[in-house]
Amino acid sequence: MVAIPVFAILVAEWTLNLAGVGEKTNAPLIYEQSNVDVQVFNPEYAGRYFDDFLPSVAFNPFQTNKSDGSVRIVVLGGSTTAGFPYQFYYGFPATMERHLRATNPAGRVEVINLGMTAVNSYTLWDLRHIVVEMDPDLVVIYAGHNEYYGAFGAASSVNPVGNSPGFKRLVLRLKRTALYAGMEQVIGRASSTDVAEHSTNPVADRTLMARVVGTADIELGGDTYQQGVDQFVNNMNDILDTFEDRNIPVLIGTLVSNLSDQAPLGDNASALEAWNAAKSSDCKTRGCNRDLFLQALDMDNIRFRAPSALNEAIWQMSSRPSVEVLDLSSPFDSISTSGIPGYDLFVDHLHPTQAGYELMGRLFAERVSSLLELRTVPTGWPVSATLDPLEVSHSQIQIERLLADYPFVKGRTTEEMAEFYLDQARKYKSGSLMDSIAATLVAPPRPILAGLAEAIELLDATRQSDPPDSDVLRLYESFFNWQPFNEPLMKSVISRSLSFPELDSMTVRLSSFAADRTNDIFFWNSLGAVSVRKESAEIAHFALDRAESLDSNSALMLFNKARLYLSVGDTTSSRVYFQRYQQASQ
């Protein structure tokens, strides 16, 4: 009697697997365009954590079989790790990668960003074995802000299955089966049909922050509050145990947020009193009372920002031999205008500005280099990113939409938000060229790659210039991140900028990215040529030696090496390489 239902379940699972049910969401890693040498994280896999929302995941292809000398880092976390409100290539993992590539050019650097919006430690717990399979040299974690309202959170409307950690983990395990995926599809279709039939106002969605709150009022020290802290600690301990068993070191960043300019989101009177008292102190001379701001944060009963207890838990994790904790709070305080971060380093309640992301990326890179004992080379390659013109407009739309809805503006109806979206769309569509293109990316959603392609074509046509326009090159740099193996395109763009010394910084940025992704001799030659022009002999030697190792008879490499030796006064070597160049050119 027991065997019959078990056998029936196994048959159903086998049948649904054959039919491909759940195939898209059950394969975490997929091959990039049928190339068995390169894998990417499956963007559909992220859908397992939500009912009606698919968070975007960074496009970070990596080698199926990690090559000797390469460094692989996997980054886990929520929307800050993902880079919101910017594209992933402006977030701190990408900044960290640029720093590591600039100081460790001899080995390939792979930073795989698995950050997703509105996920918390349950998602990290679910991903831990997948991360192990990716064979990382190090795991970086920046997470904790979503323990209450993220997927499976202690007070979330997303997968509200109670607050039993065991049951939540069971659901995550069941989601790996075709049978469970099939049931979700049937229930999801029925739910969508019911909503469509009974809806009197099928307008645009509210922001995700407005939709994920199950229980808004979470008092400090209450049961729900403690459940959020406990789930973070328990999940993180499981995660760290898994990585420790595989001898994978972990670097965890402490959590930062907007303390001085973000008033408590809830209505707790004590929180508001503490925040107002902190604001009245003399912040202009860096005399803000940090303790009062932290009190306001901890007593804020709408918990979109992690309480201090989670940072305390993170610091306790540093007692593990394989775990390092990176203090982000002190550096953020030190560069903040008032000494307490506000809108000078955050675009909202907790997502950093581009400057904030740049700071995080540099700090993580410095600690990673130390932990992995990387041999650093002072290449002088530029590492700071400047937002491309389309991203300036697109990110501003994202920020405006977020701040116009709950919990920043309370009481707005769905109809009022729909009107806001329409007004915003009209404003941006009638604005600048980049504004109008950015508007098409959000309503209805349109792939960013399509927007970049359109922006490049139109801007390049209106600003036809020699040398190429810097805004156009920044758009191409963003485009490269979506097509990192498109060698003809990258060669074409770099060839346009290579002849102009005033574009050397951009040429180096583009060439170093392309060289790291493809190891093609053209890009190493480009780096060598620019380095010779900039009189950076050590880096020119390095780049041209890499080019020579790929093709010792390359005429371009031989010519560049002849110039290099001449520039340092080694006329004998210069003559040898010039003669070889003449022979290769015949």
Does the pLDDT of residue 316 top 80, yes or no? yes
Distance (Å, whole) CA 142 – CA 234: 16
Calculate the average pLDDT of the chain: 89
The pair phi, psi for residue 37, each rounded to 5°, is -85, -15
Specify the CATH number for the domain of residue 331.
3.40.50.1110
Burial class of residue 340 in the structure, from the number of CB atoms within 10 Å of its CB (0-12 exposed, 13-18 middle, 19+ buried): buried
Domain span including residue 366: 3-371
CB 452 within 8 A of CB 478: yes
pLDDT of residue 192: 39
Distance (Å, whole) CA 432 – CA 310: 43
pLDDT of residue 11: 53
CB 36 within 8 A of CB 63: no
Q: Which residue has the higher pLDDT, 384 or 201?
A: 384
pLDDT of residue 3: 65
Does the pLDDT of residue 57 top 70, yes or no? yes
pLDDT of residue 194: 41
Q: In what order do the strands lie in the sheet with 323-326?
A: 109-113, 71-77, 138-142, 250-253, 323-326
Distance (Å, whole) CA 500 – CA 465: 12
pLDDT of residue 53: 83
pTM: 0.92
Does the pLDDT of residue 18 top 80, yes or no? no
How much is the average pLDDT of 418-422? 94
Residue 354 falls within a domain, yes or no? yes
Residue 475 falls within a domain, yes or no? no
Residue 532 falls within a domain, yes or no? no
Using alpha carbons, list the distances in angstroms from residue 39 to 17, 34, 49, 519: 22, 9, 22, 17
pLDDT of residue 199: 35
Does the pLDDT of residue 15 top 90, yes or no? no
CB 472 within 8 A of CB 341: no
How much is the average pLDDT of 507-527? 94
Please calculate the CA angle 17-20-25 and round it to the nearest 5 degrees.
95
Residue 13 falls within a domain, yes or no? yes
State both tokens at 584: 């290769």
The three-state secondary structure class of 324 is strand
Does the pLDDT of residue 67 top 50, yes or no? yes
pLDDT of residue 541: 92
Residue 575 falls within a domain, yes or no? no
How much is the average pLDDT of 48-74? 90
Q: Pick the closest to residue 312 from 339, 331, 335, 294 (CA basis).
A: 294
Residues 389-417 pLDDT 10s: 999 999 999 999 999 999 999 999 999 99
Residue 463 falls within a domain, yes or no? no
Rank 173-177, 209-213, 319-323 by mean pLDDT and report only the highest: 319-323
Instruction: Tell me the torsion sign for CA atoms 524, 525, 530, 531.
Output: positive
Burial class of residue 455 in the structure, from the number of CB atoms within 10 Å of its CB (0-12 exposed, 13-18 middle, 19+ buried): buried
Residue 418 falls within a domain, yes or no? no
Residues 443-481 pLDDT 10s: 778 899 999 999 999 998 887 777 889 999 999 999 999
Distance (Å, whole) CA 510 – CA 517: 11
The single residue listed with the structure tokens 């971060």 is: 341
Distance (Å, whole) CA 436 – CA 379: 39
Q: Pick the closest to residue 496 from 485, 507, 509, 483 (CA basis).
A: 507
Q: Pick the closest to residue 56 from 95, 93, 83, 34 (CA basis).
A: 83
**What stretches of 101-253 adopt beta strand conformation (E)?**
109-113, 138-142, 250-253
Q: SS3 sequence, 240-269?
A: HHHHHHCCCCEEEECCCCCCCCCCCCCCCH
Residues 262-300 pLDDT 10s: 999 999 999 999 999 998 877 766 778 899 999 999 999
Query: In which region does residue 173 sit, left (phi positive, over 0), alpha (psi from -120 to 50) or beta (all else)?
Result: alpha
Distance (Å, whole) CA 419 – CA 435: 19
pLDDT of residue 573: 95
pLDDT of residue 382: 84
Share of the chain above pLDDT 70, in %: 90
Q: What is the CA 479 to chain-centroid distance, rounded?
A: 16
What long-range pairs does 159-166 form, CB within 8 A, spacing at least 24?
Answer: 159/49, 159/50, 159/51, 160/214, 163/224, 163/227, 163/231, 165/230, 165/231, 165/234, 165/235
- Exposure string of 286-318, with b = 16+ CB inside 10 Å and e = fewer, is eebbeebbbbbbbbbbbbbbbbebbbebbeebe
Number of domains in the chain: 1
The three-state secondary structure class of 142 is strand
Does the pLDDT of residue 197 top 50, yes or no? no
Instruction: Tell me the torsion sign for CA atoms 527, 531, 532, 538.
Output: negative
pLDDT of residue 444: 78
Which of 157-171, 331-345, 541-555 shows the lowest per-residue confidence on average (mean pLDDT)? 157-171
Distance (Å, whole) CA 82 – CA 56: 8
Residues 101-145 pLDDT 10s: 888 877 788 999 999 999 999 999 999 999 999 999 999 999 999
If you ran DSSP here, which 8-state letter would residue 38 be given?
E
Which of 158-162, 197-201, 344-348, 435-439 shows the lowest per-residue confidence on average (mean pLDDT)? 197-201
Q: In what order do the strands lie in the sheet with 35-41?
A: 29-32, 35-41, 62-63
Using alpha carbons, list the distances in angstroms from residue 98 to 172, 372, 392, 529: 34, 16, 20, 20
Residue 175 falls within a domain, yes or no? yes
Residue 214 pLDDT level (bands cut at 50, 70, 90) = confident
The single residue listed with the structure tokens 């959000």 is: 442
Distance (Å, whole) CA 340 – CA 337: 7
How much is the average pLDDT of 535-562? 93
